[in-house]
């Protein structure tokens, strides 16, 4: 379905909740308000959601769509009716007449401006041909939804809105929908940036003995960012409608969309504010790389990108510089991966007084599975199965979780971006899924190898014993955050085939250990051991249910 009103004489049908005074100016006020002492005045701008009404609206809309009864449709989001009518008119003939007196109201005292700007939730606006109107109204009645014809599509060149018999709006719809003002905000590199990037974590004191390494590992695992999130994820329904193939704690969510053919989609969202603060261009790219990698871990082919870009006030030239760098980095990375950015969302003014949040682009990647039954998960059952590290490891500790947790340090340059290696890793995962060679896979991201291994052990209950190569220190192997890496538990009988595929792809892999027995926890040979109970205790301590 489109959002264009292009058949003259079609009716404009508003259905769902009545329009109230809530959410007036929500988008414009909330998006530009600095949250300080005066923020209470923005409270009426917050919309009030009603999931039950939303469910009725979804079901009714799906029923209309299945019966092919609507020409075009749009939900009422930011800027409410004024946005929906102008966008739909603009995407169609350009002409529409609306009578505001017909809009069902929760509050009779609303002015026409307020009716136009209200962001009351759970409302939809559909363009319906006259011959389908009765059926559309009947479906709304079935779901106990109020539906009202508030206007119609015209062949005039303007959007005309009437109230109490008076013409109160007369504008070219295209102008409202597409000719918004374009800001040319000044930006410059923050004064602190060079000193920040020069302040590397490489000179910080490191653990050397096995006992120190163990203590450091337990501390990192008990950080809230690393912790087991099930206290949160168990408060959401993952089973409804029976097509959720993978969900928390797996690297990507996977939904089956075709029960007969087996096709499915994989989705992951990632962001790393510390990397982005150190270098906004690279940070945005690293966030995209991580989401791309997480989707790839399930065996899916990454296809498209979306984003939510969270920054402080763009009126601050230093914040605007972070934004400009992040957007440029994201665009360049999307081009490298051949993954289009299909849409997104920007949230500015995230600050208190002059103190902005760390720049936080959150990047979503969507991928496709030809056959979801081939998906690779994080859970494994085999004991004494080989554990491999894919990708090469360098000493990259700037911006790492280790630097943050152990030294409260944030400085230096984030890890290197490795587009080619990420693409190869994704290809490897698709091959492993197709030939069913991997028992489990987990990407390496913040917290490095230590966190990835600990999560694998925690999810399966089976221990892992590591025997790390000696080209780097054990500390560097465990805590470095080099990109384009993953840990794989390979099916014992498939080890030769696995190595052959890696050689064909010219992908560096290292056997770093084996799975042991249930309850044995983590052993790093020659250095330290952490029992399963201690490991689970650290991971669950921040968010005990």
Partner 1 sequence: MTTRVGVITFPGTLDDRDAATAVTIAGAQAQPIWHKEKSLKQVDAVILPGGFSYGDYMRTGALASLSPIMEAVVEAAKEGMPVLGICNGFQMLCETGLLPGALTRNTGLHFICRPEIIKIESNTTAWTNSFEVGEELLIPVKNGEGCFQVSNEGLAEIEAEGLVVARYQDNPNGSVANIAALRNAQGNVVGIMPHPEHAVDSLVGPSIDGLGFFWSIAGVTI
Binding residues (CB under 8 A) for partner 1: these are: 50-53, 55-56, 142-144, 230, 234-245, 256, 372-373, 545
Nearer to partner 1, 328 or 540 (CB): 540
Closest contact distance (angstroms) between CB of 438 and partner 1 is 17
Cis peptide before 249 (omega within 30 of 0): yes
Q: Which helix (H) or strand (E) holds 85?
A: helix 80-91
Q: Least distance to partner 1 from the beta carbon of 51, Å?
A: 7
User: From the CB of 237, what's the least distance to partner 1, in Å?
Assistant: 5
Q: Give dist(CA 147, CA 116) in Å, integer.
A: 17
Taking the complex as a whole, how short is the minimal distance between the CB of residue 545 and partner 1, in angstroms? 7
Taking a C-beta distance cutoff of 8 angstroms, is the pair 382, 489 a contact?
yes
Q: Which of residues 353 and 545 has its CB atom nearest to partner 1 in the complex?
A: 545
DSSP E strands: which ranges in 20-178? 72-75, 95-99, 123-128, 147-154, 159-163, 166-171
Question: Which residue number, 142 or 189, has a Cβ lying nearer to partner 1?
Answer: 142
Residue 58 beta carbon to partner 1: minimum distance, rounded to whole angstroms: 11
| Burial 96-122, CB ≥16 within 10 A → b, else e | bbbbbeebebeeeebebebbbbbbbbb
> 210-221 and 532-540 helices cross at what angle (nearest 10)?
40
Provide the angle, in degrees to the nearest 10, between the axes of the packed helices 210-221 and 448-460: 70
Residue where the block lists tokens 């997104």: 344
Instruction: Compare residues 122 and 481 and give the one whose CB is closer to partner 1.
Output: 122
Q: Minimum Å distance from CB 15 to partner 1?
A: 15
Nearer to partner 1, 164 or 241 (CB): 241
Give whichever of 263 and 427 is closer to partner 1, judged by the CB atom. Answer: 263
Q: Which H helix or E strand runs over 281?
A: helix 280-297
Q: Which is nearer to partner 1, 53 or 497 (CB)?
A: 53
Shorter beta-carbon distance to partner 1: residue 215 or 230: 230
How many degrees, rounded to 5, is the angle at CA 362 between CA 359 and CA 364? 160
Tell me the closest approach of the beta carbon of residue 61 to partner 1, in angstroms. 14
| C-beta separation of 244 from 238 below 8 A | yes
468 close to 387: Cβ distance less than 8 angstroms: no
Distance in Å, CB of 144 to partner 1, minimum: 6
Distance, CA of 136 to CA of 504 (rounded, Å): 58
């Amino acid at each position: 379905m489109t959002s264009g009103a292009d058949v003259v004489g079609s009716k404009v049908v508003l259905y769902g909740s009545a329009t109230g005074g809530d959410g007036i100016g929500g988008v414009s006020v909330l998006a530009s308000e600095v949250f300080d002492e005066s923020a209470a005045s923005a409270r009426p701008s917050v919309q009030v959601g009603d999931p039950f009404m939303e469910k009725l609206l979804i079901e009714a809309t799906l029923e209309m769509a299945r019966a092919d009864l609507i020409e075009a449709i749009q939900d009422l989001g930011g800027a409410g009716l004024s946005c929906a009518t102008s966008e739909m008119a603009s995407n169609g003939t350009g002409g529409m007449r609306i009578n505001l007196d017909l809009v069902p109201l929760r509050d009779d005292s609303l002015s026409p401006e307020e009716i136009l700007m209200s962001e009351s939730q759970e409302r939809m606006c559909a363009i319906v041909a006259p011959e389908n109107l009765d059926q559309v109204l009947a479906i709304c009645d079935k779901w106990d939804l109020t539906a009202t014809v508030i206007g119609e599509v015209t062949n005039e060149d303007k959007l005309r809105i009437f109230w109490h018999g008076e013409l109160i709006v007369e504008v070219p719809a295209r102008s409202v929908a597409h000719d918004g003002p374009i800001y040319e905000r000044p930006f410059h590199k923050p004064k602190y940036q060079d000193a920040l990037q020069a302040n590397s974590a490489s000179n910080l004191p490191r653990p050397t003995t096995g006992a120190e390494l163990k203590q450091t590992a337990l501390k990192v695992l008990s950080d809230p960012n690393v912790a087991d999130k099930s206290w949160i994820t168990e408060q959401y329904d993952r089973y409804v409608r029976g097509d959720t193939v993978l969900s928390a704690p797996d690297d990507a969510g996977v939904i089956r969309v075709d029960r007969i053919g087996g096709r499915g989609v994989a989705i992951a969202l990632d962001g790393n504010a510390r990397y982005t603060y150190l270098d906004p261009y690279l940070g945005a790219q690293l966030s995209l790389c991580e989401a791309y990698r997480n989707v790839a871990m399930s065996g899916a082919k990454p296809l498209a990108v979306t984003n939510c870009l969270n920054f402080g006030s763009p009126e601050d030239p230093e914040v605007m510089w972070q934004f400009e760098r992040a957007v440029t980095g994201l665009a360049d990375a999307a081009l490298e991966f051949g993954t289009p950015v299909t849409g997104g969302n920007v949230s500015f003014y995230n600050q208190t007084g002059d103190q902005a949040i760390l720049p936080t682009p959150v990047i979503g990647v969507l991928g496709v599975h030809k056959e979801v039954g081939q998906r690779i998960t994080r859970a494994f059952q085999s004991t004494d199965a080989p554990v491999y590290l894919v990708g090469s490891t360098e000493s990259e500790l700037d911006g790492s979780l280790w630097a943050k947790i152990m030294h409260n340090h944030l400085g230096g340059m984030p890890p290197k971006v490795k587009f080619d290696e990420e693409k190869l890793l994704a290809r490897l995962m698709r091959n492993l899924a197709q030939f069913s060679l991997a028992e489990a896979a987990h990407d390496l991201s913040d917290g490095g190898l230590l966190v990835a291994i600990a999560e694998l052990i925690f999810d399966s209950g089976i221990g892992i014993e590591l025997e790390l190569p000696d080209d780097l220190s054990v500390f560097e192997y465990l805590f470095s955050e080099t990109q384009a890496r993953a840990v794989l538990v390979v099916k014992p009988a498939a080890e030769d085939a696995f190595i052959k595929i890696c050689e064909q792809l010219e992908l560096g892999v290292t056997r770093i250990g084996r799975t042991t027995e249930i309850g044995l926890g983590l052993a790093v040979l020659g250095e330290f051991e952490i029992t399963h109970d201690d490991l689970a205790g650290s991971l669950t301590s921040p968010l005990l249910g």
